[in-house]
Structure 1
Amino acid sequence: MSVPMLRSTAAVCTTLSALAATTILSGPSAAEPFSTTPCALHRTDAHHSEGVDTWNPDYTRPIGALDAVMIFLSFPDASPRTTPAELTADHFPATSHYFEQASYGRFTLRPHPLKHWLRMPRSSTAYAIKRDWSADDRAAYLRDAFAVADKEVDFSRYQVVYFVADPDAPGVDSDATKVVNLDTPVHVDGTDIRRVVTVFEKHPPDRLVLAHETGHMFDLPDLYHRPVDGKGDWDTYVGDWDLMGSQFGLSPDLFAWHKWKLGWLDPRQVVCVRGAGPTRLTLEPLEAGPGVPVQGTAGAPAFGLGHGVKLAIVRTGADSALGFEARGSAGSDRGTCRQGVLVYRIRGEAESGGGPVEVVDAHPRTGACWENSVYPPLADAPVALGESFTVPGEGVKVEVEGRTTSGAWTVRITPGVHDG
């Protein structure tokens, strides 16, 4: 394997906003038709658009098994105090387990970690690593990382690349972990690499951080709000309710809209609610999959769910919709603060980090779980059993009428005059 000769530092400049993240890929050659339902928003040119009518061919689709290589980078100015095996255990099998649960077994991420450190040619401080990294410094880091790694790694075997830096090196900033999107792909071992995850996490790392970064590789957007001055609440858009909002959330499962986008829901598991009159339907808990127990009406674990409706949608405009899904306390959501039917707005034109999804708070005057929620005002956002709620500005009403013996939720949705 030859050492890749990058044309210049410009070859690894990024188009990504400072916060976005995502990993390598080799996608299909043309956009794939994905959904023809009237409630499917069109995919736009927005970074990580929430449109679901086609799949973006620049991204690998997380269906079946994908192979990920973990490459461990040390520096001349530090001797690692951890081993590659210890750093691998920081992220796996937890990351694979997260995606296995979230996808209902439809996606498997297979890690292939190197067993030893590879020495970078320059000190860690020479790369000026930080969250809002300069393009030139980032390009130099990636150029050197590919050069040392290609001597031992056949990149053609992998769909995901993680460059993991020595967490104790003096120039490593744990806040700089992200996915780097390349304007010009790195061509190595006959493969065009368009994205890599640069991991600078401390040991042990932040919870589910690698799952969050890997989510960007599958075209999922950042759902948090970054304050202009970096101060204040970051979690005002979705709170605890999606991994792409916060990896620390009490309920970090992916929204049903995202599972639909990724291909983890069958068409029959998504209902488009249309017309002015009410529609009654049964929503399975989002986390329920084959063999995953959920709480039944008697309080005991119930099985057998996993193939019913997970998402109801009301179209509210040419580029907007409301999503309705049931969230319980099982699987990745076992720490859920409040159960019920969660309502959220989706905007296909919104950029990653610009509020493409926003949870609608059914209890705007209260909060919950102040000790451990990332944003308590939204911790009690779901519409609870026996409650009704009309979405402000939309005239769409949802009533949570009951629970089935298996733990599913019976709801009635009335679109009103804003049916798309």
Structure 2
Amino acid sequence: MAPKRPLALTALTTLTATALALTAPPFSRAVPEAPPARPGAPAGRHPSGPCALHPRTDHVSESTRTPHGFSRSAGTVRALTLFIDFPDAPARITPQQRYAEFFPAVADYYRASSYGRLDYRSTPVPRWIRMARPYAAYRITRGSAFDPRRDDGYHALSREILAALGRTVDPGRFDLVNVLAAPDAGPPATEDVRSVTFAGAGTPLKNVSFIWSRQTGDSPYRVLAHENAHSFGLPDLYYASGRTDDGPVGHWDPMDEDWGPSNDFLAWHKWKLGWLAPTEVHCLARPGTRTITLTPTSRPGGTKLAVVPLSPTRALTLEARTPGPLDHAVCRPGVLITTVATDRPTGTGPVRTEDATPDSPGCYTTDPNVNAPLSDAPYTTGQTFTTQGATVRVLGPTPSGDWRVALTRHAPRPTAALPAAPSHPLH
């Protein structure tokens, strides 16, 4: 398994969203216009209702409420993309070539994953900004913080970038800032992942993602999609420190694994980001059984997400995952079941995939970047999952490729009978 990226740092502020037109010549590969949001599904609507779990922190979490100051995640989002190199690691390619590693792929990825509800527009400044000192002088390491008390690190880099831009470009007028370093600056990503995002306030470049080296796999641009998603308010799903085992979600969301083959976002994240309409989310807020038909994540329309709230901070989620344009590694189509916890901060496993085949080595074992044991996690026809408060029985696929499930929310037990902890705690 390739090394994991560092924990993204989070702070709070307010951003403006006025577009800035640059006079720099456009690149040869223009980002195509995004399709409009479908009628009846307005972009940017915040989740609400009994299944929209409340936050337990002012920082980024799995809560459907994103803290103030993060970037919008639906509608038109404007990114400023900059390029830096160093005296001891000068760029050996043009800015256009570095840019082409990520665009229009990132914009296309977000357009497809959001069903056209996120129109991502990147404005590049097509020149290398040479830093004043050698790369090592900035002491950039995995997990480096932004410390304005120091004269190195990301504080120094940001100060030099702003000085180079002068009055010609105002980064504060964009929703996001991408800083793409020359690929030879720092160690390869296969040895040490250093790409990081500083979302919110506390830095002169707000909602800024620094991208180092190159990532492996057939869609390496997703390192930027992962980092930008932090600015949209998504946490890291992998274990950021203290554990060496595979992530709890696996290749079912790029906030856990964005190495190797492509993978789409969880339906819960799509709801959180404003990409799902209320009609596309089924909330089982009261005891009883409902038969629900889930349309695969890879297809627009239909019910994308079913949620059973288990507590004010926990919920069981269901979605159908099948092979698709963004889901290259789905080798066992079916119903993916996850447990979401809003009281677990980023980098501590706030989402857990419930594995339908816990003793299996998996079905996607050809790429070491994929968490193979979780590759066959979806539940299929006839399988049942039960946890405290809910039972899921998978009825099977329909002729059109949707998946039908019988979802039961159990009546609350008397207080005296409640156990001290959930039967399936997150780990």
How would you bin the TM-score normalised by the shorter chain? 0.7 to 0.9
Identity between Structure 1 and Structure 2 (%): 35
Q: Alignment partner of 1:184: what SS?
A: coil
Q: Which of 103, 108, 111 pairs up with 2:122?
A: 111
State whether structure 2 residue 178 is matched by structure 1 residue 162: yes
Relative to structure 1, is the Cα distance of residues 249 and 268 closer, same or farther in structure 2, using a 3 angstrom cutoff?
A: farther
2:7 alignment counterpart: 19
1:141 alignment counterpart: 157
What's the Cα RMSD here?
A: 2.8
Q: Alignment partner of 2:288: what SS?
A: coil
**Where in structure 2 are the equivalents of 1:174-189 lying within 5 Å?**
175-181=193-199, 184-186=202-204
Q: Alignment partner of 1:197: what SS?
A: strand
Q: Alignment partner of 2:347: what SS?
A: coil
| Shift in Å, 1:169 | 3.6
**Where in structure 2 are the equivalents of 1:321-360 lying within 5 Å?**
321-360=315-354
Q: Alignment partner of 2:233: what SS?
A: coil
1:12 alignment counterpart: none
Deviations 1:175-196 (A, max 9, x none): 211112465352xxxxxx4331
Q: Which of 234, 237, 257 pairs up with 1:220?
A: 234
Q: Which of 382, 397, 409 pairs up with 1:387?
A: 382
Relative to structure 1, is the Cα distance of residues 128 and 414 closer, same or farther in structure 2, using a 3 angstrom cutoff?
A: same
Relative to structure 1, is the Cα distance of residues 78 and 324 closer, same or farther in structure 2, using a 3 angstrom cutoff?
A: closer
State whether structure 2 residue 259 is matched by structure 1 residue 259: no
Report if the CA contact (8 A) 2:143-2:194 is conserved. yes
Q: Alignment partner of 1:57: what SS?
A: coil
Relative to structure 1, is the Cα distance of residues 207 and 118 closer, same or farther in structure 2, using a 3 angstrom cutoff?
A: closer
Letter in 1 for 2:109: Y
Counterpart CA distance in 2 for 1:58 and 1:262 is: 14
Report if the CA contact (8 A) 2:216-2:259 is conserved. no
Deviates more, 1:262-271 or 1:373-382: 373-382
| Shift in Å, 1:77 | 2.5
Relative to structure 1, is the Cα distance of residues 84 and 101 closer, same or farther in structure 2, using a 3 angstrom cutoff?
A: same
Q: Report how many aligned residue pairs link the two structures.
A: 372
Which structure carries more strand by proportion?
1
Letter in 2 for 1:37: G
Letter in 2 for 1:153: V
Q: Alignment partner of 1:343: what SS?
A: strand
Deviations 1:316-351 (A, max 9, x none): 112111001110111211331211000000111110
Relative to structure 1, is the Cα distance of residues 171 and 282 closer, same or farther in structure 2, using a 3 angstrom cutoff?
A: closer
2:371 alignment counterpart: 375
Q: Which of 388, 399, 403 pairs up with 1:405?
A: 399
1:65 alignment counterpart: 76
Letter in 1 for 2:197: V
Q: Which of 280, 296, 303 pairs up with 1:285?
A: 296
Report if the CA contact (8 A) 2:72-2:175 is conserved. no
Report if the CA contact (8 A) 1:181-1:195 is conserved. yes
Counterpart CA distance in 2 for 1:129 and 1:257 is: 34
Unpaired runs of 5+ residues, structure 2, are 18-43, 414-427
1:10 alignment counterpart: none
Report if the CA contact (8 A) 1:284-1:326 is conserved. yes
State whether structure 2 residue 38 is matched by structure 1 residue 38: no
1:296 alignment counterpart: none
Report if the CA contact (8 A) 1:242-1:251 is conserved. no
| Shift in Å, 1:239 | 0.8
| Shift in Å, 1:166 | 1.7
Unpaired runs of 5+ residues, structure 1, are 1-16, 187-192, 290-305
Relative to structure 1, is the Cα distance of residues 25 and 65 closer, same or farther in structure 2, using a 3 angstrom cutoff?
A: farther
TM, length-normalised to structure 1: 0.81
Relative to structure 1, is the Cα distance of residues 36 and 159 closer, same or farther in structure 2, using a 3 angstrom cutoff?
A: closer
Q: Alignment partner of 2:101: what SS?
A: helix
Relative to structure 1, is the Cα distance of residues 19 and 115 closer, same or farther in structure 2, using a 3 angstrom cutoff?
A: same
Counterpart CA distance in 2 for 1:221 and 1:263 is: 16
1:292 alignment counterpart: none
Deviates more, 1:259-268 or 1:141-150: 141-150
Report if the CA contact (8 A) 1:21-1:213 is conserved. no
| Shift in Å, 1:275 | 3.8
Report if the CA contact (8 A) 2:10-2:59 is conserved. no
